[in-house]
């Protein structure tokens, strides 16, 4: 008789533990869903673009951005840029627009609080998925012109571009 009670007690503990595990999993799912970022207006991404532009040396600097290009021509971005000569880095995020022109994606609306509002107009990246190494002038033509006009030497810099689905 006592053996039967131990088995029954063990079954009860298994049922209670299983129910508790299910409850914990449900609470974690609800908490994770609440913490997940919401989808930006516009829907699914057509492209995700990562940019890392760097000019080495004490007078160099860099720009680092992640861009989500939505199928409707809108999107969002986050990133930062800095100059090695001082002034610190600026972190930026916001909305963007984009279009495809031939074999390039042309991105508008990316801003930096550390640069004039026109500096990143436009950003040009390949319209094909892959990893590319480009010059500053190929990706950031206006930024290149601006920085060159104030004496920056971008000749030994490059931009790593990753275009993904």
Report pLDDT digits (tens) over 102-155. 999 999 999 988 888 888 899 999 999 999 999 999 999 998 898 888 888 888
What radius of gyration, in Å, describes the C-alpha atoms of the chain? 25
- Number of domains present in the structure of the chain: 2
54, 94: one domain = yes
25, 92: one domain = no
pLDDT band at 164; cut points 50, 70, 90: very high
CA distance 71 to 29: 29
Q: CA–CA distance from 56 to each of 15, 90, 124, 142 (Å)?
A: 62, 18, 22, 20
103, 23: one domain = no
Domain ranges, residue 6:
1-36
Alpha helices by DSSP H, 36-151: 136-139, 141-149
Residues 6 or more apart whose Cβ sits within 8 Å of residue 89: 80, 81, 82, 114
127, 55: one domain = yes
The answer to whether 76 and 68 are in contact (CB under 8 A) is yes
130, 61: one domain = yes
Give the dihedral of Cα atoms 102, 79, 153, 131; nearest 10 deg: -50
Q: Is the pTM of this model over 0.75?
A: no
71, 138: one domain = yes
60, 84: one domain = yes
Q: Quickly count helices (H) and strands (E) in the chain.
A: 3, 8
Question: Within 13 A of 151's CA, how many CA atoms are on the CB side?
Answer: 3
15-70 pLDDT per residue, tens:
433 444 443 344 444 443 443 344 445 458 999 999 999 988 877 888 899 999 99
Of the candidates 165, 111, 100, the one whose C-alpha atom is nearest the C-alpha of residue 143 is: 111
Of the candidates 62, 52, 120, 57, the one whose C-alpha atom is nearest the C-alpha of residue 88 is: 62
111, 89: one domain = yes
58, 20: one domain = no
78, 27: one domain = no
32, 108: one domain = no
31, 76: one domain = no
């Amino acid at each position: 008789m006592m053996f039967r009670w131990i088995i029954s007690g063990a079954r009860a503990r298994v049922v209670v533990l299983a129910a508790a595990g299910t409850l914990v999993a449900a609470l974690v799912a609800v908490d994770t869903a609440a913490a997940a970022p919401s989808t930006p207006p516009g829907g699914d991404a057509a492209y995700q673009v990562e940019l890392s532009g760097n000019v080495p040396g004490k007078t160099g600097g860099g720009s680092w951005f992640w861009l989500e290009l939505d199928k409707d021509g809108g999107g969002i971005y986050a990133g930062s840029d800095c100059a090695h000569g001082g002034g610190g880095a600026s972190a930026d995020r916001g909305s963007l627009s984009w279009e495809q022109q031939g074999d390039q994606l042309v991105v508008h609306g990316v801003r930096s609080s550390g640069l004039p509002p026109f500096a990143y107009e436009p950003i040009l990246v390949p319209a094909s998925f892959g990893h590319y190494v480009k010059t500053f002038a190929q990706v950031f033509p206006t930024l290149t012109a601006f920085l060159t006009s104030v004496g920056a030497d971008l000749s030994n810099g490059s931009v790593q571009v990753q275009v993904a689905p």
